[in-house]
Amino acid sequence: MTEQRPLGSGFGPTTTAAEVIAGQDLRGKVAIVTGGYSGLGLVAAQTLAAAGAEVVVPARDQTRAQASTAGGPPLQLESLDLMDPESIDAFAGRFLDSGRPLHLLINNAGIMAPPLTRDARGYESQFSTNHLGHFQLTARLWPALQRAGGARVVQVSSRGHARGGVTLEDVNYERRGYDGPEAYAQAKSANVLFAVELDARGRADGVRAFAVHPGGIMTNLGRYVSTERLRAFDIIDDDGKPVVDPSRDRKSPEQGAATIVWCAVSPQLDGKGGVYCEDCDIARTVPGDGSPGPGVRPWAIDREIAGKLWALSETLTGVRFL
């Protein structure tokens, strides 16, 4: 695992995805971006496609995906529901049958702080969608990642992980009271832990993994959050318009997607992995004392916890990985 400390990348909070990728030619590269038809995922997918990559965007809502991607760089739309194991297997099977390598897998799709909802297995929806769905998807796509001869997996996490880690004994809120933001924090911590363990296990196959905090951006992810709460967190102003102030981690979608794209393609990260990144650089580690602000909390990069989460994820999904 790469040391969790900034590189001094030369980029920062105001950097855009287009600036990160400037001058790169991705022709011959294949990418999958989950949730790549809205918000940050759409910017990331279009940025990669504009640089020449073949970009596959799996989406649950095909009508919405077709409308939102029309007129931009060409994206290949596919069907996928991350809360449905059969849908995940079917999508991965179709991709594997194409014989293509997979150079970039950006696990971006997610939900945030909905009312308590469960999938068909009884699993809490945020943990199911944000973590388990991407765990299973990555496992099923592993042969294509190996075939690339050098691949990257990017887990889109959040500074929201600072609110708390993964409660391994009750990840699905079967024995404790449900709290939407707390469950979101658990899922986002799981995203980072997955990157830590995946990088350690995949390194020998040339697959490196990263976790990303993109920034505070007003996207459809916040659809379950009340207007009052969005104002309280300074995500929108009194007129309901998105607040853009990168110095306070309030970013435009183009700025928010920059760290995702940086982790996916930057040569500065060659030979590195297993780290949490923000503002187009590796983040520093900060104490888990409940204070807000930048940096990654210890519970999200703990290798022992990461290994236990991996084992639990295999049990819950029934998918043996690597």
Catalytic residues: 184
Q: Specify burial of residue 39 (Cβ count, 10 A radius: 0-12, 13-18, 19+).
A: buried
Residue 58: which of 148, 143, 137, 152 has the closest Cα?
137
Residue 244 to residue 254: CA distance in whole angstroms: 11
Angle, CA 56 vertex, CA 221 and CA 301 arms, to 5°: 55
Which residues 6+ apart lie within 8 Å of 158 measured at CB? 184, 188, 191, 213, 214
Residue 109: which of 90, 89, 137, 71 has the closest Cα?
137
What CA–CA distances, in Å, run from 316 to 100, 167, 284, 311? 29, 14, 32, 9
Residue 252 to residue 191: CA distance in whole angstroms: 23
Count other Cβ atoms within 10 Å, centred on residue 100.
15
DSSP 48-72: HHHTT-EEEEEES-HHHHHHHHTTS
Residue 151 to residue 153: CA distance in whole angstroms: 7
